[in-house]
Amino acid sequence: MSQLPTPAEVLPHRPPFLFVDEITELIPGERAVGRWNITGTEAFFAGHFPGRPTLPGVLMCEAIAQVGAYALLSSPKFANRLPLFGGLDKARFRRQVVPGDTLTLEMRLERLSSRAGKGQGRALVGDDVACEAALMFVIADAAD
């Protein structure tokens, strides 16, 4: 099996806002699975929460969206485009995520046109669902 490009080779995101460490599965334009290793050194833990670091739920949603963007941008049809959040529905947070956890991020693109799309995603720690949500996005032209 060939090595998949790193998230930084496909996504426009950069640290400190690149939350996907690696992509482990990919069907371009359809689905992707990735990982985010939560180290505890991330800057947001200093304030969320002192003495009890907890990964913010909104960042789990962003990480799921980044895996979806990887799936989308891996399709030649959408190369050099820019997927932007258009909405978030039915978000549920089912487990606290703390330093030392590894999030498995899954995103399945469901409805897709040249201008927008929808998908279902979730984040897991082991077999436990930490977050699940329906995501909507618009597809813009990337700046040169």
For residue 101, being part of any structural domain is answered with yes
Q: What is the mean pLDDT of residues 14-21?
A: 97
Q: How far is CA 125 from the centre of its chain?
A: 14
Q: Exposed (0-12), middle (13-18) or buried (19+): which is 89, by Cβ within 10 Å? A: exposed
Residues 109 and 32: their CA atoms lie apart, in Å, by: 9
**Tens of pLDDT, residues 105-141:** 999 999 999 999 999 999 999 999 999 999 999 999 9
Count of domains for the chain = 1
Tell me what percent of the residues of the chain surpass a pLDDT of 90.
Answer: 95
Q: Residue 108 belongs to a domain with what CATH number?
A: 3.10.129.10
| pTM score of the predicted model | 0.96
- Helices (H) and strands (E) in the chain — how many of each? 2, 6
For residue 2, being part of any structural domain is answered with no
Catalytic residue at 13?
no
Q: Exposed (0-12), middle (13-18) or buried (19+): which is 4, by Cβ within 10 Å? A: middle
Catalytic residue chosen out of the listed positions 13, 35, 48, 95: 48
Kindly tell me if the per-residue pLDDT of 1 is higher than 60.
no
